[in-house]
Chains A and B, each alone.
Chain A
Amino acid sequence: MTLIFFYLRKFFTILKNEVFVLPYRVAVLLFFAILLLLPLFTDDPYLLRIMTLTSIFAILAASWDLLSGFTGQMNFGHALFFGVGAYGAALLNKYTGLPPWGAIPLGALAAVSAGLIIGIPCLRLRGTYLALTTLAFPIILLGIVFAIPDLTGGELGISGIARLARSRITSYYIAVVVMLGLCTLMWKITDSKIGIIFHAIREDELAVRASGINTTRYKLLAFSLSGFFAGISGGLYAHFMRIAGPSTLEVSLSFQVVIWAIFGGIATIYGPVGGVFVLFPLMEVLRFWQDYRILMFACIVLLILLYMPDGLFRWLREKTEKECPRCKIRNVALRETCRICTASLD
């Protein structure tokens, strides 16, 4: 009993001293709470559907960030992982009758192997060469998909695969919980030693190599991790929409991922997730002006970039927080002195 009280007290102390002191931590907490409690307040099928899709794409954008934001391996063909995950899960489900919980991870493993296959030739390229080359892979696969319509359904895709879950709310919870879990996992990965090496590879690969780190192995690790997460989101998408079509491999999806991630702010994980949660529902709101939808979307992205070229969430964080010059602890921008070491913040 006392043990429970001890842990409860510890939990509240952490909540009070570590979480409530910084606005962005409160925002993350609120984000978790709102997403998990949303079905209690509304069961509007349209809203739940949008939020489910948003969560699925949030995984995709965060996985792009893991590869391109952190490791600096600009990937313009992220739709490849998504598409392989979607087609993999759909084919497994349709031809072997594997239920979604088995088909999605196996589809993601297929995406990992795709990541390794494109990772190995791409290791020799860097920067813009890499970006322009990776653009090619989903298009090559798309050509193959169209060329063998017996297996892949060609233009129509594979339809009639199993539902993610029986009810709408269960599907919502599956997508949201998987999204929150995987994004936390990705954030943990990028916060660990591996994440530091990823950062370092982006900044100066030669220096990392000189420190005795096998950068090839780490870059391949980044490709396969990113492929795995993107593959999971592809599989979720296929089972949620009950179709895996050529749209999952299109160039526009690859571009869309880049827009979401850079709009939110790269090399942060929370940035791309937030970017999707801002931009994807925005697209739905703009549906009221159907004809002008994409135009307005493009204009909003252009205008926001003019003022916040580092991304929306990085900009917000910069405005609301200050780093203590002495102990490097982050503080609310309103404070005069640091909350830990009381050094004055300028």
Chain B
Amino acid sequence: MSLIIDIVISGLISGSMLALLAIGFSLIFGVARIVNIAHTAFYMVAAYCIYFVTQKLGVHPLWAMGIAVVLVTGLGLVSYQIFINPIREHHGAVLIATIALAMAFQEVMSLIFTGTFLSVPSLAKGFFVILGVKVFYQQLITFCVALFAIGVLWFFLMRTKLGLAIRSTSQDREVANLMGINESRVALLTMGISVGLASFTGAIVVPLAVLEPHMWTHPLIMMMAVVVLGGLGSLKGSFLGAYILGFAEALVVFLAPMGAFLKGSVALSMMILVLLIRPEGLFGVAFEEER
């Protein structure tokens, strides 16, 4: 019984983290056709930022989260303007520019903080017990905040004018431009929102995670799998796909022998199985082919 609760908690938390990351990734892909490999690198930078602000400067964790999100979003916008915007028409070049950016962030972080494993204390200490399983308050906070953020984002995309502009640009860039939407400004804004989401994810997950400069690669792979599984550009798909893969991972870790090694393999195999049946993902919107 306690095993089931463990699986549920771990699945819910990694699922919400993946959902937040995947939504951001899929937003910027939809609007600007940028496959942003550096997406989870921003998440890593935000986590380190919080570590630095709380541990070295002694700022309250809540303020630290705000500072981290603002700083990393700024960083994301600056690197977008300098390195990605000038070569946006060359998809291959953008791709390796984002890979190079991610590598650069990883190296800068390991130069500053060295490669040692670091951790950040949780926002709320303590735990409560359900059916003999400890549930830390921090896990509860992370889960609720993530759900809340997804709700806010959904409201923003579906109910505001800016959200409408973002959605229409991702449906058809040229027509959106003709309708008077400043396409490049929408792309910049979306980049900001996307990086902001990544850093927010980093901020709420950091008390539960171990900080090290390579912490971005596993979430990156899982996030891409979520995006493909749910269907590129579909909010609902990313949300559902994230929980499917999060639970798949949790099940394998707790139940299978050698689970820690196989967790990625099983989750990714599931993604491929779904793609065999539905090539456009669970809720895929068929993007019109770019000519």
Contact = CB atoms under 8 A, between A and B. Distances in A.
Tell me if chain B binds chain A. Answer: yes
Interface of A: 121, 124-125, 128-129, 131-133, 135-137, 139-144, 146-147, 251-252, 255, 258-259, 262-263, 266, 291-292, 294-295, 297-299, 301-302, 305-306, 309-310
Contact of B275 (A121, A140, A302, A306): A121
Nearest to A123: B279
Interface of B is mostly: helix
B100 A125 contact: no
B96 A292 contact: no
A309 B94 CA distance: 8
Given A121-B276, A132-B224, A135-B221, 8 more contacts: A129-B281, A133-B275, A136-B269, A295-B108, A298-B107, A299-B100, A302-B104, A309-B87
Interface string B168-179: 000000000000
B93 A262 contact: yes
Interface of B: 29, 35, 37, 83, 86-87, 89-90, 92-93, 95-97, 99-101, 103-104, 106-108, 111, 217, 220-221, 224-225, 227-228, 232, 258, 261-266, 268-269, 271-272, 275-276, 279-281
Contacts of B224: 132, 135
Nearest to A299: B104
Contacts of A137: 268
Contacts of B232: 128-129
Contacts of B89: 309
B29 to A, nearest CB: 7
A121 B276 CA distance: 6
B35 A129 contact: no
Contacts of A258: 95-96, 99
A129 B101 contact: no
A295 B225 CA distance: 28
B87 A305 contact: yes
A262 B95 contact: yes
A147 B86 contact: no
A143 B252 CA distance: 12
23 contacts: A129-B232, A129-B279, A129-B280, A129-B281, A132-B35, A132-B228, A133-B272, A136-B221, A139-B265, A143-B263, A147-B258, A147-B261, A147-B265, A251-B220, A251-B221, A258-B96, A262-B93, A294-B103, A295-B111, A305-B97, A306-B83, A310-B90, A310-B93
A114 B209 CA distance: 35
B100 A259 contact: yes
A128 B37 CA distance: 12
